Amino acid sequence: MLIFFAGFLSVSFARDAPMQALALDGATVIDADQGKLLPARCVRIEGDRIVAVTKAGSRRCMRDAQVLDLAGRYLMPGLIDMHAHLTLGPVEIRRERGRMLMAAEADDEIAEHNANRLVAFGVTTIRNPGGDLDAAARYKMRHVRGELIGPESFDAGKVINNADMRGLAAGVTTPDEIRSQVADQAAAGADWIKLYTGLSPELLQAGIDAAHQHRLPAIAHLDRIAWPDALEMGLDSIVHLMPISPNLLDEQARKAWRAGARPGTFAFFEWWEHFDPDGAEADRLIESFEIHRPVFDATLVAFHAAYVQDLDNIYKEDSRHLAHPRLLANWEDGFTFTVGWQSDDFQRARSVWPKVQRMAKRLYSTNARLTIGTDVGNPWIAPGISMHREMSLLTEAGVPIKRVLAAATVDAAEALGAGDRLGRIKQGYEADLVVLDANPFDDIANTQAIHAVLLDGRWLDATELSKLSNLSKEGE
């Protein structure tokens, strides 16, 4: 387990420093592809690559290498968080030129803080599904130079919506504007294009088409537009298990919801009160996942944290230990998803949680490209530990552990288009690995029993991981 302590430490490593070959000998290997354990192996690492996977004790594997005896331990691929806003700063309301505006600007210090803690909990790769591409480029440069320890990042630019939000969202009103915004993001190095809830069907279609013209996949966070309709348009990826479209309710339920619906995030539970996760519209949603196979991350942790925000809970405890102080202060000041909720609203939200769980189980039983995401950067989602919270929530919902482990590793790597180098313990693959002291197939909580992490072939032991998880920043 990671121990929390205060103190200042600057951690980095030079990527061009020569490294002796490593031989990880005797660990039981987790085969995420097949959902099973492989007998004890010797994994040889040279530089940042796995160059051989042989039987334990192999002389060929251990020749001229630093041998690490991992007998009794478990070796799994590094975890991949598909929804981590790495560089996102706090949400702030400012007055400029006589008017109020909302901003969530990028912060390089917060990015490094998050990056350290992600690695400390075994997350070696992320998808940043919306943010400042200049900040993402700065992070990537520092990462390549070895100036910080953090995961590899695949990045979307600002989310494209019907209104601006400084640092996070670019507002568009016409198809030409959305095409121009997509072109600018593609030229700036975006790996994905993120489309948002305020877009009309016409603008959503224009955004998807523009992304594809630039050979980029399109992600969307949707509410008014039903997921099956967006998938018919060619959408590649959906985020958040919150499909709160009136078009996913039958006529009677739709009328009942609209009669009492309140604006904003009250829909996070009010919609679910009228939705049947085993009804015809849920079946339509499942069928669309089977046909179109979107990349999907549920981010259950983000919504569960909101549903219990009126209580003392593990998410607040996590955040007080692991969130950057500026983000933590922002959430404690009330910049959360539950602004305006009263005690009865929280009770109603918790009452629909079994429906959310049921829908998660059904979706994660499809052949869609299912992954794990946390929404790091948003309220009460602490970097690193939230990946493990998400995996536990999915298993509590009834998703098999082997499905969860695949979603967190090999399936996410495939979804990123990096399945030929990430997500497996295999010759030629990058040496992003996690060493565990217990078998995660016995209990998904064992993914937290981290003995060491290998990041680009660099061995980070428990002492180094503790330092990373508790790296103090100015003001802590």
For residues 192 and 160, what is the distance between their CA atoms, to the nearest angstrom?
A: 12
For the four alpha carbons of 430, 472, 313 and 92, in that order, the dihedral sign comes to: negative
| pLDDT tens profile 449-472 | 999 999 999 999 999 999 999 844
Angle formed at CA 232 by CA 174 and CA 83, multiple of 5 degrees: 75
For residues 467 and 5, what is the distance between their CA atoms, to the nearest angstrom?
A: 8
Q: How many residues does the chain have?
A: 476
Write out the DSSP string of 295-309: EEE--HHHHHHHHTT
335 bridge partner residues: none
How is the beta sheet containing 123-128 ordered, strand by strand? 79-81, 123-128, 152-155
For residues 399 and 256, what is the distance between their CA atoms, to the nearest angstrom?
A: 31
> Amino acid identity, residue 237?
S
For residues 10 and 149, what is the distance between their CA atoms, to the nearest angstrom?
A: 10
pLDDT of residue 19: 72
pTM of the complete model: 0.94
For residues 164 and 392, what is the distance between their CA atoms, to the nearest angstrom?
A: 35
Both structure tokens of 103: 């901003």
Parts of the chain with a pLDDT under 50: 1-15, 471-476
pLDDT of residue 12: 45
pLDDT of residue 379: 96
pLDDT of residue 360: 98
Write out the DSSP string of 226-258: -HHHHHHTT--EEESS----GGGS-HHHHHHHH
